[in-house]
Amino acid sequence: MLEAQGLVKRFGSIVAVDGVSFKAKSGQVFGIAGPNGAGKSTIVRMLATILSPTEGTAIVDGLDIRENAESVRKLLGYLPEEPRVYDYMTGESFLEFFSDLYRVPRAERRVRSLLEFVGLEEHAHRKIGDYSKGMKQRISIARALVHDPQVLFLDEPTMGLDPASARELREKILSMGREGKTILVCTHYMDEADFLCDQLAILHKGKIAAIGRPEELKAKIAKKRILAVVLKEESKPEEKRFASLLSGRVSGRSVLVPYHDSSTLSSVHRAARKTGASIVSVHHVDPSLDDVFISVTRKRR
């Protein structure tokens, strides 16, 4: 349904996307994760035919984005990183307007069902200017679906939403995947990628640093076991130096330390003595996608 083939995008001397290739199947939520500036939005804009690739191409439902740009646009729904809405319109009139733009026949329009799907049926006649940010994000999702596209691009769909709104939107994305839509999600939230994605590409400086199912990616570094060392509150000033001595990193209230063998525990206690830090507890933790990201990007620095 969706295949990127060696996508490259240069802006002058800057290479924003550098040889990106991947495939996403029908009914699959495919994720591109990485920090801001990694090239995620540039990839989506090329796939959506907003930007032309410098090199490479992509195939959307059998159509080449270079040769059939207009036809590709009709196939897909697109939620940009900063979706634009018309505050003077009501939710219902907004969706009717875009149904007209996509030339959806009156008999086939799904405005009411889309409002119900995104939980805005009770707000159909309110002006969008009176909507909360979460509601505006949901009406933007409905707008991307007015022509019932089989391919959907969502660029940072939950950015800026409160936890409840973000979770609700993630559930909607999963339900659309179960309906058979091919969904590409860009996010810099690794927990979101873990929750949503059937397949995930981790992007670093415009290149794919790792790709696979989230559980596969975590399994690859599971051999590199991790110790979580919790220090007493009064040891906070020594925390960073303590982590540095052990090639670890601070995460919340813990210092995460690579575990090699039983001698690692001795190293932890030596570091505590050297820095004057007081240890509350030490325990093993399972790797997360954050750990995967840190592991694969460190190798490419």
- Give yes or no for a contact between 149 and 76, defined as CB atoms under 8 angstroms apart: yes
pLDDT of residue 58: 98
pLDDT of residue 61: 92
Instruction: State the CB neighbour count (10 A cutoff) for residue 144.
Output: 20
Whether the pLDDT of residue 276 is over 80: the answer is yes
Per-residue pLDDT tens over the stretch 177-216: 999 999 999 999 999 999 999 999 999 999 999 999 999 9
pLDDT of residue 259: 87
Per-residue pLDDT tens over the stretch 211-239: 999 999 988 876 667 899 999 999 989 99
Whether the pLDDT of residue 300 is over 80: the answer is no
List the beta strands (DSSP E) in 62-174: 63-64, 76-79, 151-155
How are strands ordered across the β-sheet holding 55-60? 14-24, 2-11, 55-60, 63-64
pLDDT of residue 222: 62
Q: Which CATH superfamily is domain 223-285 in?
A: ACT-like. Chain A, domain 2 (3.30.70.1150)
54-59 mean pLDDT? 98
2-214 CATH choice from 3.40.630.30, 3.65.10.10, 3.40.50.300, 3.20.190.10:
3.40.50.300
Instruction: Locate CATH 3.30.70.1150 in the chain.
Output: 223-285
Whether the pLDDT of residue 160 is over 70: the answer is yes
pTM: 0.80
Structure tokens that stand for 262 in this block: 């039983």
Handedness of CA 111, 112, 117, 122 (dihedral sign): positive
8-22 mean pLDDT? 97
| 86 confidence band (pLDDT: 50, 70, 90) | very high
Instruction: Locate CATH 3.40.50.300 in the chain.
Output: 2-214
Phi-psi label, residue 37: left if phi above 0, alpha if psi -120 to 50, beta otherwise: left
pLDDT of residue 246: 95
